[in-house]
Amino acid sequence: MAGKTPTPHIGAQLGEIADKVIMAGDPLRAKFMAENFLENPVQYNSVRGMLGYTGTYKGKRVSVQGHGMGIPSIGIYTYELFNFYNVETIIRCGSAGAYDPSLNLGDVVFGMGSCTDSNYARQFDLPGTFAPIADFDLLRRAAAKAEELGIGYKAGNILASDVFYGDNPEEWKKWQKMGVLAVEMEATALYMNAARAGKKALCICTISDSLVHGTACSAEERQTSFTNMMKIAFDII
């Protein structure tokens, strides 16, 4: 949409962001990806501390961008990227808490679909329940790349929850019984915004903690050590 950039949240001019964007909730993870994967990265955003960079990866022009925590925050950034900056593809690289007992710290999960306890879909005034799903081509290529790199993964339903500290500490088991693999806080908005805009999206998560086993990674590990999902994302974007 002409005349919409810069936005209140992204300081870039139209053309400064690539049509392929890899996102992370933590802006310092976005900075880590820019510094470790992109050639000649140029910072295009620092508004609200949500860092964004554009560079090249194996000859492809790619941007990386922070999106913050939760559905409202990623909803804003992905809406603006899809609709105001002509972005065609977004891959989220995030952390997730395991519901599946076979998942351990550091394992990779592809979100085929995103369940949610959010009311985000209400804005679309649909006559039923929408099922937010990943782009199949991105998912297929992500699985193939993981196998090529020897990276183990699971693909299936994940939960995008609005609540981090829930009042009922056992409520996650209700999602577990339906085969939901893990919980994060953003994929539903990413997938819905992509669907509404006719664009492509995929959420790749690394397990940072397990509600089943009671284990957890440190904050530093969450920021810099989840590189397997990043390798997959950059190779397929």
How many Å apart are CA 161 and CA 69, to the nearest integer?
Answer: 11
Q: How many CB atoms lie within 10 A of CB 130?
A: 14
How many Å apart are CA 36 and CA 78, to the nearest integer?
Answer: 23
One of 107, 135, 209, 235 is an active-site residue; which one?
Answer: 209
Burial of 123 (0-12, 13-18, 19+ CB in 10 A): exposed
Tell me the residue type at 22.
Answer: I
Active site residue 19: no
Catalytic residues: 209
